[in-house]
Amino acid sequence: MSRADTELPGREEGLQLLRGMQRIRRFEDRAAELYSAMKIRGFLHLYNGQEAVAVGVLQALHEDDAVVATYREHGHALAAGLPMGEVMAELYGREQGSSGGRGGSMHIFDAEHRFYGGQAIVAGGLPLAVGLALADQMQHRPRVTACFFGEGAAAEGEFHEALNLAALWTLPVLFVCENNLYAMGTALGRSQAETDIHARAGGYGIESTALDGMDVVAVAAAARAAVTGIREDGKPRFLECHTYRFRAHSMFDAQLYRPREEIEAWKKRCPIMGLRQRLLAAELATEADFAALEQDIEAEVEAAVAFAEAGSWEPVEQLASHVMTEREA
């Protein structure tokens, strides 16, 4: 599906989608700067380029729906409504962070927003999403669980087990594959015989769709249709969003496996610039609107950094709390 095939929303929704993506982009760029300054340590996987997927999908959910993400989850967390300051504080390892500073970049969690990680294990979130949906079904709660994962997860056993059970038990799960072509550092075509990931969902009888994950309008439309279908019949749905990460797999990655020309070609399809150009062409927004948006976002990001900087470390005497061990007999 091309961008010309998707109908633009009105001015308000268009600017809302743009704001959502730009908030993520600026947050991630600032996180990279802070990592280089050694303010943030540990692993850091950035979401630049994939913003349309998180923003497009999560606008279709209700507040009491659940979200399960991967270790590249800052964008999902922000799109799900987690306070930016708490997400940044988590990256800093401060106790004011969304996971109390114990999870860091890869394990963002917020029960209040029903945001269940942040899963460091590839495909680890898939069975968790099925379990959450099963609990909602058994308790007769009209909720949807959205589960994000990369195409690399499709090579794991949990992928097949989760899709099988979701279809077998008719569970309200929206599976969202963010296919950025490389998993960690190996091209999809070099590691998996079937590169059409959504076709595998069809093998389990799950209604599936492949779409342009660089087009937030297309993602939003597909997500709304899928979530509406889930709410109507309780059956799972599957979206494969073709996207691309503009930065390396992580801050430790020299990304020697991707041609520079390929990266630059994908950057020309930037979801943020694409939406801006379409809003301008349709006379739904102006450069002044964009400037005001960027100013607001810059202030929000800097406030989040200040919040994290002012945060405190967990007291040493509390480090053993929430640590479970087996008691000796």
Confidence of residue 5 (pLDDT cuts 50, 70, 90): low
Do residues 83 and 247 make contact, with C-beta atoms less than 8 angstroms apart? no
Q: In what order do the strands lie in the sheet with 237-242?
A: 109-110, 115-116, 66-68, 145-150, 173-179, 237-242, 207-212
Q: Tens digit of pLDDT for each residue in 130-184? A: 999 999 999 999 999 999 999 999 999 999 999 999 999 999 999 999 999 998 8
Q: Tens digit of pLDDT for each residue in 266-315? A: 999 999 999 999 999 999 999 999 999 999 999 999 999 999 999 999 99
Rounded CA-CA distance 162/168 in Å is 10
Is 14 part of a structural domain of the chain? no
Domain extent for 65: 21-307
User: What average pLDDT is seen over the chain?
Assistant: 95
Is 244 part of a structural domain of the chain? yes
Residue 3 pLDDT > 80: no
Nearest-5° Cα angle at 5, 294 to 206: 100
pTM: 0.94
Which one, of 192, 191, 181, 196, lies nearest residue 240 by Cα? 196
Which one, of 99, 95, 94, lies nearest residue 77 by Cα? 99
Rounded CA-CA distance 221/198 in Å is 17
Is 258 part of a structural domain of the chain? yes
Q: Which helix (H) or strand (E) holds 200?
A: helix 197-202
Side-chain half-sphere CA neighbours of 94 within 13 A? 19
Distances (CA, A) of 223 to 175, 176, 285: 10, 9, 24
pLDDT of residue 4: 47
DSSP line for 138-175: HTT----EEEEEEGGGGGSHHHHHHHHHHHHTT--EEE
Give the number of domains in the chain: 1
Is 16 part of a structural domain of the chain? no
Which one, of 175, 138, 145, 141, lies nearest residue 159 by Cα? 175
Is 324 part of a structural domain of the chain? no
pLDDT of residue 318: 87
Q: Tens digit of pLDDT for each residue in 232-241? A: 999 999 999 9
Chain-centre distance for alpha carbon 280: 27
Q: Tens digit of pLDDT for each residue in 248-270? A: 999 989 889 999 999 999 999 99
Rounded CA-CA distance 219/229 in Å is 15
Ramachandran angles phi, psi of 67, nearest 5°: -130, 130
Do residues 250 and 220 make contact, with C-beta atoms less than 8 angstroms apart? no
In the three-class reduction of DSSP (H, G, I as helix; E, B as strand; rest coil), residue 104 is classed as helix
Is 321 part of a structural domain of the chain? no
Is 320 part of a structural domain of the chain? no
CATH at 106:
3.40.50.970
pLDDT of residue 322: 81
Is 323 part of a structural domain of the chain? no
DSSP 203: T
